[in-house]
């Protein structure tokens, strides 16, 4: 007897369902994407328990005619793709015609739909993919899809569902990711009868971010924008001081579709190098728009993974756009007008942002690893900075300051227009970042008074009716680091009057040898001496000779610890150490002129974070003090 069977369509559907419907959250995503594709302006998602018992998505989209409703649940039934040629230019979220077939195969579905302009609608029920009932009905235009008892006929899958709480939170994340991708669509999520979130759908990216991610996160975001030929990126990235403990607040979208992308994650994170504390992650919402041919979404059924045809260009575009946003922040900072500026002009009409959703950190790979595998940011592409978009902190009225925020004020800096393309290679982002001071014509330093220095560490400055506390070591460290990093020539070395002998292990010797050229370029002269020893003859001129041996030990430790997988990060790590050792320290007496130089650098906005990402200054407002003294409540 023949051994090979052709599976029945029902069994084939059950198998296919596994790819599309992993858990209730996948149903939320698929139904929302269908609503979006139907041109809905308002979408409501309702869920009960963990979502497996009850999910309902209602939209005011174009609805379905009875004859379409009848076939919508068949496999490969789609109105979005007609032939092979269409596959090259998918502009909708769906196109495989699989979701409804897969969902209905493992659940009980009720559909109510009315095509726009039709007199009446259609009501249908399905169980395990079989139509049970189909009648004409009166209902509003649009579609309501109710999915109940998910996995009722596949007990093995049901068993794999996590607790209701975990499943529910996966549904909420899925809905949020979808909603965040489409600022022009209003999405409401109701969980167990209570509203979980609501996005206004006014088309403004900042409204979507504020309503979906919340005010605390939104207020720390800086606008990002850039363009390179037919590629465009816009969105937001957090200020370095607002780093987070994980990547859960990183959202990437490509043509409206939420995607997971190590490439984009790495591009964003690299832009924070030297400003974000180690182990902290930026938050971001990045909307990328490419021509449909520039990206292949047909890599996985859930379509959260995509393939860019020009990865390097995409990487560079995002990297430089984020870098420019952070640089802008550095250049504005404190030199800007104070709270009165909170009332900002209305946001410009949002671009027809298409987009859709997603975030996760389990597929994470550090920026370093990613780069080690082949990516480093190339020269800045011809990024055309976007017109300024409203910064989210403008939502923060009434004005309120938090003591724990560096530069605490939700002051709304008026961002200077990024420089226009200056010719050959567009504006050079790297230059702006590596030497901010040089790039700004003449930094404006607001009027101020240095009140004094406290605890031999904190400089107290009165500026614009507020107190600014500056960590003199952190600020000075940053100044030295920026200066060293921006200079092309070799760092000036000073010969030590008494050279230092270093006894090194085999491993350290290899490290020294491998990095010999770099070390000497950065001012360290280290020569072999006898069998095991090395002699340190010179160190960077900024450094005290007494710190020399400790500095080399620290550098070796970093290079040993794999903190510097490539020459560029090795250079940065070494400069960190040099800057830290060369900077004035807490506890030292510092003369007035030196303090003034530091204050000027901070007030000009060129120094905001130490090279490890710690803030160099904190603002205490009059209001903060009045509160402390209970003058106001």
Alpha carbons 506 and 322: distance in angstroms, whole number: 41
Question: Residue 77: which of ligand ADP, Mg ion, none does it interact with, CB under 5 to 8 A by kind?
Answer: ligand ADP
Of the pair 37, 464, the CB lying nearest Mg ion is at: 37
Copy the structure tokens of residue 330: 């550095």
> Is 63 a residue that touches ligand ADP (CB under 6 A)?
yes
CB of 47 to ligand ADP, least distance (A): 17
Q: Please, are residues 46 and 194 in contact by the beta-carbon 8 Å criterion? A: no
Q: Please, are residues 103 and 109 in contact by the beta-carbon 8 Å criterion? A: yes
Question: Residue 519: which of Mg ion, ligand ADP, none does it interact with, CB under 5 to 8 A by kind?
Answer: none
Q: Which residue is nearest to Mg ion (CB)?
A: 94
Alpha carbons 105 and 126: distance in angstroms, whole number: 9
Alpha carbons 134 and 100: distance in angstroms, whole number: 16
> Which range touches ligand ADP (CB under 6 A), out of 28-36, 195-203, 407-415, 598-606?
28-36
Per-residue x/- marks for ligand ADP, 126-145, CB under 6 A?
-----------------x--
332-365 as b/e: b if 16+ CB within 10 A: bbbbbebbeebeeeebeebbebbbbbbbeeeebe
> Which range touches ligand ADP (CB under 6 A), out of 30-38, 494-502, 562-570, 605-613?
30-38
Binding residue for Mg ion, selected from 50, 61, 63, 94, defined by CB under 5 A: 94
Binding residue for ligand ADP, selected from 13, 46, 59, 477, defined by CB under 6 A: 59
Closest CA to 113 of 148, 139, 79: 139
Instruction: Determine which helix (DSSP H) or strand (DSSP E) holds 81, and give its type and residue range.
Output: none
Local structure of residue 281 (DSSP, 8 states): B
Binding residue for Mg ion, selected from 17, 27, 34, 183, defined by CB under 5 A: 34
Alpha carbons 314 and 264: distance in angstroms, whole number: 8
Distances (CA, A) of 341 to 328, 345, 396, 414, 517: 17, 10, 11, 8, 50
> Is 38 a residue that touches ligand ADP (CB under 6 A)?
yes
Question: Residue 61: which of Mg ion, ligand ADP, none does it interact with, CB under 5 to 8 A by kind?
Answer: ligand ADP
Beta bridge partners of 257: 254
CB of 39 to ligand ADP, least distance (A): 8
CB of 98 to Mg ion, least distance (A): 8
> Which range touches Mg ion (CB under 5 A), out of 99-107, 193-201, 266-274, 472-480?
99-107
Of the pair 257, 371, the CB lying nearest Mg ion is at: 257
3-state secondary structure of 230: coil
> Which range touches ligand ADP (CB under 6 A), out of 60-68, 217-225, 373-381, 596-604?
60-68
Copy the structure tokens of residue 272: 């924070």
Of the pair 144, 584, the CB lying nearest ligand ADP is at: 144
Per-residue x/- marks for ligand ADP, 69-108, CB under 6 A?
---x----xxxx-------------xxxxxxxx-------
Distances (CA, A) of 595 to 70, 140, 346, 543: 77, 70, 40, 19
Interacting residues toward Mg ion by CB under 5 A: 34, 94, 99
Interacting residues toward ligand ADP by CB under 6 A: 30, 34-35, 37-38, 59, 61-64, 68, 72, 77-80, 94-101, 143
């Amino acid at each position: 007897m023949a051994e090979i069977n052709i599976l029945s369509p029902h069994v084939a559907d059950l198998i296919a369902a596994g790819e599309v419907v992993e858990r209730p959250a996948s149903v939320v995503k698929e139904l929302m994407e269908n609503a979006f594709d139907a041109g809905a302006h308002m979408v409501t998602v309702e869920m009960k328990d963990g979502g497996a018992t009850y999910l309902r998505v209602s939209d005011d989209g174009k609805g379905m005619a009875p004859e379409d409703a009848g076939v919508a649940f068949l496999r490969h039934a789609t109105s979005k793709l007609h032939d092979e040629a269409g596959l090259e230019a998918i502009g909708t979220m769906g196109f495989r015609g699989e979701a409804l077939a897969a969902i209905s195969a493992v659940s009980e579905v009720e559909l109510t739909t009315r095509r726009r302009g039709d007199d009446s609608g259609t009501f249908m029920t399905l169980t395990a993919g079989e139509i049970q009932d189909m009648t004409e009905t009166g209902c509003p235009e649009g579609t309501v899809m109710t999915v109940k008892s998910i996995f009722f006929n596949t007990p093995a899958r049901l068993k794999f569902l996590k607790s209701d709480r975990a499943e529910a939170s996966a549904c909420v994340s899925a809905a949020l990711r979808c909603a965040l991708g489409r600022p022009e669509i209003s999405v409401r999520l109701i969980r167990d009868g209570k509203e979980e979130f609501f996005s206004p759908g006014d088309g403004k990216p900042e409204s979507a971010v504020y309503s979906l991610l919340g005010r605390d996160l939104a207020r720390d975001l800086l606008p990002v924008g850039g363009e390179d030929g037919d590629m465009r990126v816009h969105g937001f990235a957090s200020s370095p001081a607002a780093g987070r403990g994980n990547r859960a607040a990183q959202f990437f979208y490509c043509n409206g579709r939420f995607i997971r992308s190590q490439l984009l994650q790495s591009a964003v994170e690299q832009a924070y190098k030297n400003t974000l504390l180690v182990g902290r992650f930026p938050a971001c919402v990045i909307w990328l728009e490419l021509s449909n041919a520039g990206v292949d979404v047909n890599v996985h059924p859930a379509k959260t993974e995509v393939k860019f045809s020009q990865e390097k260009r995409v990487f560079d575009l995002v990297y430089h756009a984020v870098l420019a946003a952070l640089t802008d922040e550095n250049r504005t900072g404190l030199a800007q007008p104070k709270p009165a500026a909170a009332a900002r002009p209305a946001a410009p009409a949002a671009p027809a942002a298409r987009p859709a959703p997603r975030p996760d950190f389990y597929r994470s790979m550090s920026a370093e690893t990613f780069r080690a595998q082949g990516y480093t940011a190339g020269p800045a592409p011809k990024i055309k900075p976007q017109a300024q978009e409203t910064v989210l902190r403008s939502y923060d009225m009434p004005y309120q300051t938090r003591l724990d925020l560096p530069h605490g004020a939700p002051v709304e800096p008026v961002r200077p227009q990024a420089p226009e393309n200056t010719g050959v290679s567009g504006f050079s982002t790297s230059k702006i970042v590596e030497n901010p001071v040089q790039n700004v014509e003449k930094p404006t330093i607001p009027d101020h008074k240095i009140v004094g220095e406290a605890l031999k560490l904190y400089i107290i400055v009165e500026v614009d009716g507020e107190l600014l506390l500056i960590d003199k070591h952190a600020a000075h460290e940053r100044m030295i680091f920026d200066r060293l990093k921006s200079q092309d020539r070799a760092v000036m070395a000073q010969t030590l009057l008494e050279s230092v002998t270093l006894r090194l292990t085999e491993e350290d010797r290899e490290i020294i040898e491998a990095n010999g050229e770099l070390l000497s370029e950065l001012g360290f002269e280290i020569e072999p001496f006898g069998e095991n020893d090395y002699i340190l003859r010179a160190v960077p001129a900024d450094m005290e000779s007494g710190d020399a041996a400790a500095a080399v030990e620290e550098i070796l430790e970093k290079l040993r610890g794999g903190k510097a997988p490539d020459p560029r990060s090795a250079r940065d790590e070494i400069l960190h150490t040099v800057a830290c050792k060369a900077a004035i320290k807490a506890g030292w007496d510092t003369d007035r002129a030196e303090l003034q130089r530091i204050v000027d650098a901070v007030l000009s906005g060129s120094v905001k974070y130490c090279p490890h990402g710690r803030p160099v200054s904190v603002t205490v407002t009059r209001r903060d003090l009045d509160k402390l003294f209970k003058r106001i409540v």
